[in-house]
Amino acid sequence: MSFAKRFLFTATALGLAGLLWQVPQAKTVSPEDQKTIEQLELFAEAFSIVRDNYVEETSDNKLIEGAINGALEALDPHSSYAPKEDHAERQKTARREYGGLGIEVTMENELVKVNYVIPNGPADKQGLKRGDFITAVEGENVRGKSLNDAVEGMRGLAGDPINITVLSPDNTRREVVVIRETVSGRAVRHRVEDGIGYIRIETFNHPRLAKDSKAALEDLKAELGGSMKGLIIDVRSNPGGRVDQVVKVTGYFLDGGEVFSSRGREAEDTRRYHAAAGELLPNVPIVVLINSQSASAAEIIAGALQDRGRAMVVGRRSFGKGSVQSIMQMDDGGALRLTTERYFTPSGHSIQGLGIMPDVLVAGRPESKNTKDRFRESDLQNALANPEGLILEENFDEMDFPSEDWPDTEDYQLAKAIELVKSPEFSARLARKNTPLKR
């Protein structure tokens, strides 16, 4: 069959299908719509050319999937399409999630030290305690390994047992078999550091996050006898998450008023999100810690507390993901993830491509090219531009770097945040700090 004939054949079949589909009106077509129709026709034409002439048989699904992904990827890095099978596959892998031991660890004296044991987690069930050391994993010494390698060695599939050697502070050594479980980990952690309340929020992607945060804040309040001298909110490397959760959490620190707004293409698509009235910790000085991997919801809380003059922001310029994706179920069971809105801070600036610029720039590592170079949203291929056309650059002359011999295990940014929140000039500095957006 000649190409022309084959094309006619396909087109005919498509036309027939169109008939079956029954479209009532086609009379009033605006010039705008006419253009779209032409483009869709063009696509259908190209589709049938590929289908009939490619060197191998093609699959319609694959071709369309490639087309949809091609169009979406060109829009921005967060828009995508997941066909039905992908959906199911993802759920399957989710069920075979990596299991952990339910502990949080650090490295001390070349050994893995248990800092926290999740209640009722697998390690807790085997009697591991805070302060224990892990000296070997599956008979292999951890001495000399990096923390990452050591942790990697402890991960595996949920349900698989793991043999670890535990050294207790009283110098007793024992072998323990722990069955790995899927541990969601704590998204919120808190402790008192130097008389200052510290709350770390790992992600906003948890339906109980606001509740957990509130409990943590209440806990801190109780522990410090109601006289908290300062609070650090640590959202470093927090990739974001649920909008409802971040609005609630931000609301604990604001007495009503705007947290952020999201705006679609049309002006009337603007939605404003407000804090609930009543603050949890009125008058307590607050520092928000961010870094280049604080994204989306994490930038919302930092931006709101900064714009509203409620907190000083310390750290590195944040990631700059100021866009909202809507998930739309398609008729074939697949899911379309499409960027529909952008976030704006209360002062009306878009986070997209810019991020939040800290009031006090503090780096986590000593000065080097590597420390300065950070990967952010605007470095992504086809990243959505900032609607105001703004660009923010960190001023490295102003940035506070730890000295060369600063130990890796110590948190320089946190140390600086505590120093700032405790300083007698904190409120004066907060009052006279620069406009949030340094142009």
Partner 1 sequence: MKYILPTFGALTATALFAFSSLSTPVAAKETSSRSDTFRQLELFADVMARVRNEYVVDVEDSELIGDALNGMLQSLDPHSSYITAEQFKEMQVDTSGEYGGLGMEVTTESGVVKVVAPIDGGPAKEIGIKAGDYITEVDGQSILGVSLSEAVERMRGKPGEPITISIVRGDEDPMEFTMTREIIKPRNTKYEIKDGIGYLRIPQFNEKSAPSMIDAIAALKSDFGGRIPGLILDLRGNPGGLLDQSIKVSSAFLDGGEVVSTRGRKADDTQRYNAQKGELVKGVPLIVLIDGASASASEIVAGAVQDRGRGIVLGMTSFGKGSVQSVIPLRGGRDGALRMTTQRYYTPSGRSIQGTGITPDISVAAIPDDGNGNKRIRESDLPNSIQNELTSEETENSETEITIDFPPEGFNVEDDYQLQKAIALLKDGTYAQTLASLTQG
Number of other residues whose CB lies within 10 A of the CB of residue 115: 15
Site residues for partner 1, 269-328, by CB under 8 A, read 323, 326, 328
Judged by beta carbon, residue 62 or residue 208, the one nearer partner 1 is: 62
How many degrees, rounded to 5, is the angle at CA 294 between CA 316 and CA 147? Answer: 90
Site residues for partner 1, 246-265, by CB under 8 A, read 264-265
48 is catalytic: no
Of 87-95, 244-252, 279-287, 336-344, which segment contacts partner 1 by CB under 8 A? 336-344
Site residues for partner 1, 337-396, by CB under 8 A, read 338-342, 379, 381, 384
Q: How far is CA 53 from CA 69, 201, 220, 413, in A?
A: 22, 54, 69, 60
403 is catalytic: no
Question: Which of 170, 331, 404, 410 lies at the binding interface for partner 1 (CB under 8 A)?
Answer: 331
Number of other residues whose CB lies within 10 A of the CB of residue 78: 19
- Is residue 124 within a helix (H) or strand (E), and if so which, with residue range? helix 122-125
Site residues for partner 1, 76-95, by CB under 8 A, read 79, 81
Q: How far is CA 135 from CA 107, 117, 422, in A?
A: 11, 17, 38
Beta bridge partners, 273, equal 260
Of 61-69, 93-101, 272-280, 354-362, which segment contacts partner 1 by CB under 8 A? 61-69
CB of 377 to partner 1, least distance (A): 13
CB of 57 to partner 1, least distance (A): 7
CB of 323 to partner 1, least distance (A): 7
Binding status of residue 98 toward partner 1 by CB under 8 A: no
- Given 294, 321, 323, 359, which residue is catalytic? 321
* Strands ordered across the beta sheet of 312-315: 188-193, 196-201, 231-234, 286-290, 312-315, 360-361
Residues 53, 58, 60, 63, CA torsion sign: negative
Judged by beta carbon, residue 327 or residue 431, the one nearer partner 1 is: 327
372 is catalytic: no
Judged by beta carbon, residue 167 or residue 336, the one nearer partner 1 is: 336
Amino acid at 220: L
Catalytic residues: 296, 307, 321
